[in-house]
Amino acid sequence: MKIGHVRLEDIISIFVGKYGDQVQQLLKKVATLDVKIICPLHGPILKENLEFYINKYDIWSSYKPEDDGVLIAYNSIHGNTKHAMEKLACILEEEGAKKVVLSDLARDDMAETIEDAFRYDKLIIASPTYDAGLFPYMEKFLRHLKHKNYQNRKIGIIENGSWAPAAAKYMKEIISPMKNITICDPIITIKSTMNENTIKQMSELAKDILAN
């Protein structure tokens, strides 16, 4: 069947992220076709370099990381968690991390941070305890990842709390049902501000998350 000068079987419209399984099924069918054009429902019409794009669809829909790197996504009300995460970024680089990206979930672009979570193979999440719960931007970030079927990653967890830390428990609750997630050791509790023990624990976490 032809629509104008384009064959129907050449028109492919696919979603990735949320619908990885469906995209994988479609890619199997596409493998037998001579694809001339890709018409995504939410993007530009693609007519050139199609092998490159189909490979991208394959990576995204199978939830494989694109790059070797660590995303540190954090919240910080007064700046202490931020300060600790900047130190952790230095430790990770000293330990040989190829790429470390820091994201302040309350200030940086949330969509970019979600994109980086999918791009890199490792994620570290850090949040203050907020009224016996999780700081809202962290909750929003993790629920968004869950909604998009985030999986196949190594995750490090760091909480801050001054009198009754509970953020790690809530972060773990959201990420535990995700598929093929490895939670790295140790899960770290900062009591308001980073100290020598925090730095020691962050070095252990860096080694664990970077280990193959």
* Alpha-carbon gap, residue 4 to 39, rounded angstroms: 15
Binding string to ligand FMN for residues 62 to 101, with x set by CB under 6 A, is what? --------------xxxxxx--------------------
CB atoms within 10 A of CB 64: 12
Give the shortest CB-195-to-ligand FMN separation in angstroms: 13
Give the shortest CB-73-to-ligand FMN separation in angstroms: 14
**Between residues 14 and 105, which has the closer beta carbon with respect to ligand FMN?**
105
Can you give 66-126 as a three-state secondary structure string?
Answer: CEEEEEEEECCCCCHHHHHHHHHHHHHHHCCCCCEEEEECCCCCHHHHHHHHHHEEEEEEE
**Between residues 61 and 160, which has the closer beta carbon with respect to ligand FMN?**
160
Only segment of 5-13, 18-26, 99-107, 125-133 that touches ligand FMN (CB under 6 A): 125-133
User: Which residues within the stretch 148-167 sit at the binding site for ligand FMN (CB under 6 A)?
Assistant: 160-165
* Alpha-carbon gap, residue 102 to 145, rounded angstroms: 17
- Does 129 interact with ligand FMN (rule: CB under 6 A)? yes
Kindly state the greatest CA–CA separation across the chain. 69
* Alpha-carbon gap, residue 85 to 91, rounded angstroms: 10
How is residue 2 written in tokens? 């032809």
Only segment of 26-34, 122-130, 139-147, 171-179 that touches ligand FMN (CB under 6 A): 122-130
* Alpha-carbon gap, residue 165 to 180, rounded angstroms: 27
β-strand partners of 73 = 103, 125
Contacting residue, 132, 136, 147, 197, with ligand FMN by CB under 6 A: 132
Give the shortest CB-88-to-ligand FMN separation in angstroms: 13
Give the shortest CB-95-to-ligand FMN separation in angstroms: 23
Q: Where along the sequence are the contacts to ligand FMN (CB under 6 A)?
A: 76-81, 128-132, 160-165, 192
